[in-house]
Structures are given as structure tokens and as C-alpha cells.
């Protein structure tokens, strides 16, 4: 697979704050690349430097081996978190208006098929549900038939059903050979969509691999989740990582052995869960920080 985007030692300095701190990675053609991290990690600054919207302080961003230029900009599609659309236009009229900006455009009917917009073609865009609006914004990002699609937190605020539908759409886009660069706060989204993931914290990359590679590198065996109240007066940190305010997660290579140890210490197993690790668990392990619902919604 050829490399589409190469990022080398990229840095962004805002006065004393280093928002992005010398990061390097590459994105391969036809893959979905995910940038994950807590609030303020530097994801948006990174993606906006790649999109050419924010000036880098130092480092390199190469597309197909070249610095960003007008031709490359024509090959990029961006779905912003918020896009101001012209009032009083229907879905189809909005697509027509955006099509007029480009010399080369995707066939309208194909685009509306892909993004499932035919049934709402005549609807005022202001009357769309969250999921329908995201599908329209995706169509607008794809209007110029880009080779690379940037999505900045595309499903924040959507209900689970609409998020799943959107994921199916992104997979269809990938099947067309397009490369997708995504930022998200949702670990399940990254696990489902991404072939390659970078986890950022405080401007630096703290982990980079495929979802499966990340999990097998950082976990072996299972996670035992135990209510903290079962530990009575003992410190939960002596057993594992805090999960929220009420649970402790214990990494267990040998589940039976850990359970026997708990029993030998007369610790109750009431409410105990045994689960396999997912990216949410990895995120907590690496950043010491659980992404709260309010933090996810803050971005909506």
C-alpha cells in the first residue's frame, strides 16, 4: 500500500504552549487513520495543519511526496464539525450550490445514493435530523471526488443508530479506495472504522498501531472489574486502575489465579465482571483518564 500522507516532526507552538510536539506518522492509501486523545491533546490542531487551515510552526506534511499545493487541495475533502449552510435551501439545492464551486464533481445521483439522501432531497436542510445532516455534510465533503477525506468528530452528538449508519457509509467510502483521516472521541468508532490509530496526549503521540495491535501490545488475558466497595478499607490503586469512581480494573493474565487471590484475602466477588480489553480500557491505561460523556458532548 502506498503512503498518501507523510507527517514528519510536526510542531505547532502557540506562544508558550506546544499544542503539537514533534509528531511523525504516515497514512496509507485506502485506509482509515484515526487520531484519538482527550480534550486538548492536539488532534484538531494536527488535522487542521494537514488540511492546510492552520500554519505549522515546524516539520513537514507531504501528500503523495509533495508539499500541499493547489492540485492537492483539489484532491482533499473535509467534513467540518460545523458547516454554515445557506438558509432556505433543500438538500438537493445545497448539493447543487456546492457543486458549482468545483470544476470536477461527482455525479449527483451517485453521491445522493451513496449518502442515502434521495428520500430527503426536497427537505429544507434546517429540518434534518442530526444523522441526516451529517450525511449531507459528508456528501458535500465528497462532492469533488477527493482522494483523501478528513472527518473531524463526525458522529459526536448522534444517537447510536445514526452513528452505526454513518459508520456503514464511511466503510463504503473506503471501499472506493479513498483514504480517510478521522478524529473521534469514541473508542468503539475508532475500533470499528480505523485500520491504524494514533493516540495523542499533550501534543505527543503516546501509542500508534492497528486497533488489534494496540490491544495485544498493552493487554494479555482479561480485565477483572470489581466494585471498590468490595475492597473495604484497602486502597484500590494497590489492585489496579480506577474505572470511574466506583470500580477498579485488574489486568489478569490468569483470571482464576487473581480470583483465588481475592478470595484468599476475603474480598467479596459480588458484582465482579470479567471482560476483554477494548480501546476504552487502553485509553484509560495510557492517559489515566476516562473520556466522560460530558467531555464527548462538549464537542457537539
Ligand X SMILES: Nc1ncnc2c1ncn2[C@@H]1O[C@H](COP(=O)(O)OP(=O)(O)OP(=O)(O)O)[C@@H](O)[C@H]1O
Among 1, 9, 17, 110, binds ligand X (CB under 6 A): 17
Question: Which CB, 39 or 290, lies closer to ligand X?
Answer: 39
Among 14, 58, 71, 102, binds ligand X (CB under 6 A): 14
Question: Which CB, 41 or 284, lies closer to ligand X?
Answer: 41
Question: Which CB, 41 or 95, lies closer to ligand X?
Answer: 41
Least separation in angstroms between CB 41 and ligand X: 4
* C-alpha R_g of the chain: 22
Three-class SS state of 232 = coil
Least separation in angstroms between CB 286 and ligand X: 14
Question: Which CB, 94 or 156, lies closer to ligand X?
Answer: 156
- Burial of 78: CB neighbours in 10 Å, binned 0-12, 13-18, 19+: buried
Alpha-carbon distance 169 to 179, whole Å? 14
224: CB partners within 8 A, 6+ apart: 240, 249, 250, 252, 255, 258, 259, 272, 273, 274
Binding flags for ligand X, 26-65, as an x/- string (CB under 6 A): -----------x-xxxxxxx--------------------
DSSP β-bridge partners for residue 80: none
Least separation in angstroms between CB 152 and ligand X: 8
202: CB partners within 8 A, 6+ apart: 21, 40, 41, 42
CB 135 within 8 A of CB 117: yes
Least separation in angstroms between CB 241 and ligand X: 22
Least separation in angstroms between CB 131 and ligand X: 21
Confirm or reject binding of residue 19 to ligand X (CB under 6 A): yes
Question: Which CB, 45 or 132, lies closer to ligand X?
Answer: 45
State the DSSP code for 139: H
Confirm or reject binding of residue 22 to ligand X (CB under 6 A): no
Question: Which CB, 178 or 185, lies closer to ligand X?
Answer: 185
Question: Which CB, 157 or 227, lies closer to ligand X?
Answer: 157
Dihedral over alpha carbons 89, 95, 100, 105 (to 10 degrees): 180
Confirm or reject binding of residue 154 to ligand X (CB under 6 A): no
C-alpha cell at 178: 479513498
Alpha-carbon distance 284 to 140, whole Å? 35
Footprint of ligand X on this chain (CB under 6 A)? 14, 17, 19, 37, 39-45, 299
Amino acid at each position: 500500500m502506498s503512503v498518501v500522507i507523510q507527517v514528519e516532526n510536526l510542531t505547532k507552538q502557540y506562544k508558550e504552549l506546544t499544542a503539537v510536539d514533534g509528531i511523525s506518522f504516515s497514512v496509507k492509501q485506502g485506509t482509515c487513520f484515526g487520531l484519538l486523545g482527550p480534550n486538548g491533546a492536539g488532534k484538531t490542531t494536527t488535522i487542521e495543519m494537514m488540511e492546510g487551515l492552520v500554519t505549522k510552526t515546524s516539520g513537514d506534511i507531504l501528500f503523495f511526496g509533495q508539499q500541499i499545493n493547489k492540485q492537492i487541495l483539489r484532491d482533499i475533502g473535509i467534513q467540518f464539525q460545523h458547516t454554515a449552510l445557506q438558509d432556505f435551501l433543500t438538500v438537493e439545492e445545497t448539493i447543487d450550490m456546492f457543486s458549482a464551486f468545483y470544476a470536477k464533481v461527482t455525479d449527483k445521483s451517485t453521491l445522493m445514493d451513496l449518502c442515502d439522501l434521495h428520500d430527503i432531497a426536497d427537505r429544507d436542510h434546517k429540518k434534518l435530523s442530526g444523522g441526516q445532516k451529517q450525511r449531507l455534510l459528508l456528501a458535500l465533503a465528497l462532492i469533488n471526488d477527493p482522494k483523501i477525506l478528513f472527518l473531524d468528530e463526525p458522529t459526536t452528538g448522534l444517537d447510536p443508530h445514526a452513528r452505526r449508519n454513518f459508520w456503514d457509509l464511511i466503510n463504503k467510502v473506503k471501499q472506493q479506495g479513498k483514504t480517510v483521516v478521522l478524529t473521534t472521541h469514541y473508542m468503539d468508532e475508532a475500533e470499528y472504522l480505523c485500520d491504524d490509530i494514533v493516540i495523542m496526549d499533550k501534543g505527543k503521540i503516546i501509542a500508534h498501531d492497528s486497533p488489534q495491535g494496540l490491544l495485544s501490545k498493552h493487554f494479555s488475558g482479561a480485565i477483572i472489574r470489581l466494585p471498590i466497595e468490595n475492597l473495604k478499607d484497602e486502597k484500590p490503586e494497590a489492585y489496579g486502575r480506577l474505572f470511574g469512581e466506583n470500580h477498579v480494573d485488574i489486568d489478569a493474565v490468569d483470571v482464576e489465579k487473581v480470583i483465588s487471590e481475592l478470595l484468599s484475602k476475603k474480598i467479596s466477588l459480588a458484582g465482579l465482571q470479567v471482560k476483554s480489553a477494548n480501546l476504552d480500557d487502553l485509553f484509560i491505561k495510557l492517559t489515566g483518564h476516562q473520556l466522560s460523556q460530558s467531555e464527548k458532548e462538549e464537542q457537539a
